Amino acid sequence: MTIHHEGYRTIGIASLLFGLINILSFAFLSSHFSWLSIAIFIITLFLLLFIISFFRVPERTLTIQENAIVCPADGKIVVIEDIIETEYFKDKRTQISIFMSPTNVHINRNPMSGEVVYNQYHKGKYLVAWHPKSSTENERWSVVVSNAYGKILYKQIAGALARRICNYTKPGDKVQQSAEYGFIKFGSRVDVIIPTFMNVKVELNQQVKGGVTVLATWPYNIQ
């Protein structure tokens, strides 16, 4: 396991605060309130380890399957429904949403290989990530990728805690399935918008892994 580069600054600041708080604690409290100094040390150590774990990059075998849509994030499936997509396709599509808790790995990965034909950042609200309107009203970053099978849209959506979305793609980029394309700090949600005729392979409340779990497959093969 390694640490994601998005976490270097945050972990550095957290480590300095951990050291400063505990130096002051032991200097001024340990002689008379040793139990309090120990409690402060344990609590701040837990918080530091939590922050470090948030930016972890675990080793895993990634899924490469050209007729499949691979999950872009770790988390839980909270929505599988048909919607009228209004941002890009403007027609009926199937939406699959993955809720990312603060304990999940927060790297975002490309659901399929292809060319980025649309990339748009939207300012917005910070509703909790499971709120039905978070998909259209929250701060978010939308990407559409096209290949021989078709086009899909996927969104990084900020939540009540997540206030920074990192996206590394731009229109014209050639992206590879399961390769990293972004990062969301401190929990949020990712929506994947696919054609309604695709074969959905996941269920509500299923735990999924980014770059590993197959969300759906195209009902035909491209030779």
Q: Which residue in 113, 134, 142, 188 is the catalytic one?
A: 188
- The predicted structure's pLDDT at residue 163: 59
Phi and psi of 27, rounded to 5°?
-70, -40
When pLDDT is averaged across residues 34-57 and rounded to a whole number, the result is 88
Lowest mean pLDDT among 47-61, 101-115, 163-177: 47-61
- Say yes or no to pLDDT of 128 above 70: no
Span 181-203, pLDDT tens digits? 998 877 688 999 999 999 999 99
Assess whether 188 carries a catalytic annotation: yes
Six token digits for residue 182: 């972004």
When pLDDT is averaged across residues 129-137 and rounded to a whole number, the result is 61
When pLDDT is averaged across residues 97-121 and rounded to a whole number, the result is 93
When pLDDT is averaged across residues 34-51 and rounded to a whole number, the result is 89
- The predicted structure's pLDDT at residue 27: 84
Q: What is the mean pLDDT of the chain?
A: 89
Indicate the pLDDT class of residue 127, thresholds 50, 70 and 90. Answer: low
- Say yes or no to pLDDT of 130 above 60: no
Q: What is the pTM of this model?
A: 0.84
Phi and psi of 198, rounded to 5°?
-75, 160
Dihedral of the alpha carbons of 157, 162, 166, 169, in degrees to the nearest 10: -10
Cα distance between the two ends of the chain: 37
Which of the given ranges, 48-57, 166-175, 178-187, has the highest pLDDT on average?
166-175
Q: Which long-range contacts (CB under 8 A, 24 or more apart) does 123-129 make?
A: 124/158, 126/158, 126/159, 126/160, 126/162, 126/163, 127/159, 127/160, 128/159, 128/160, 129/99, 129/100, 129/157, 129/159, 129/160, 129/162, 129/187, 129/188, 129/189
- The predicted structure's pLDDT at residue 45: 94
Which of the given ranges, 6-10, 33-37, 168-172, 181-185, has the highest pLDDT on average?
168-172
- The predicted structure's pLDDT at residue 7: 75
Nearest-angstrom CA–CA distance, 104 and 102: 6
90 near 49, Cβ under 8 Å?
Answer: no
In the block, residue with structure tokens 């990530």? 129
- The predicted structure's pLDDT at residue 138: 79
